[in-house]
């Protein structure tokens, strides 16, 4: 599932995304009973990445190169799969998130997702961050 989601590229024809969506949705539909947390992780990670991603601008002459916004195709495919399989996948996702937020050891052991709000600080000018200070643009990151 991870390979299918990450291989869809913004330059691919729309049919590639549609085929990826159909393939992943079929995998989800095939599970009898519970859907493994590892499968849910692979669907939720691109959702956590958001609909837009930043990539290096190939036309940039700057050093370091400038970044541009680009549609995140993995997000689009994962979101469509979740909508398409909503009836089957909503309860397992709710159980997973409840287990993560309540700190259930069994759930935390079986997932790569985290309830922690980890923020990456932007490259600094060598100055240390003051204790207790926050980044200007915190973004939740999944472990």
Give pLDDT tens digits for 61-108: 888 888 889 899 999 999 999 999 999 999 999 999 999 999 888 988
| Nearest-angstrom CA–CA distance, 118 and 138 | 8
Q: What is the pLDDT of residues 19-29, one digit of tens each?
A: 999 999 999 99
Quote the tokens at residue 62.
Answer: 């700057």
Phi, psi of 129 (to 5 degrees): -75, 135
List Cα–Cα distances, 122 to 79, 84, 117, 126, 139, in angstroms: 28, 37, 16, 11, 11
Cross-strand pairs, 54: 69
What pLDDT was estimated at residue 124?
38
Q: What is the pTM of this model?
A: 0.72
Per-residue pLDDT at 36 exceeds 80: yes
Q: What is the DSSP-derived secondary structure letter of residue 4? A: H
What pLDDT was estimated at residue 32?
87
| Nearest-angstrom CA–CA distance, 111 and 108 | 6
Per-residue pLDDT at 115 exceeds 80: no
| Nearest-angstrom CA–CA distance, 118 and 141 | 5
Per-residue pLDDT at 52 exceeds 50: yes
């Amino acid at each position: 599932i991870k390979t299918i989601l990450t291989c869809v590229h913004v330059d691919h024809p729309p049919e590639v995304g549609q085929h990826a969506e159909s393939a992943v949705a079929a995998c989800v539909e095939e599970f009898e009973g519970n859907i493994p947390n590892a499968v849910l992780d692979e669907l939720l990670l691109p959702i956590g990445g958001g609909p837009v991603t930043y990539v290096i601008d190939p036309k940039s002459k700057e050093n370091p190169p400038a970044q541009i916004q680009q549609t995140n195709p993995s997000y689009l495919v994962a979101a469509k799969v979740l909508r398409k399989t909503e009836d089957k996948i909503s309860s397992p996702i709710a159980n997973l998130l409840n287990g993560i937020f309540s700190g259930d050891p069994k759930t935390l052991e079986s997932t790569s997702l985290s309830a922690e709000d980890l923020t990456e600080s932007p490259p600094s000018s060598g100055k240390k961050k003051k204790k207790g200070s926050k980044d200007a643009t915190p973004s939740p990151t999944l472990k």
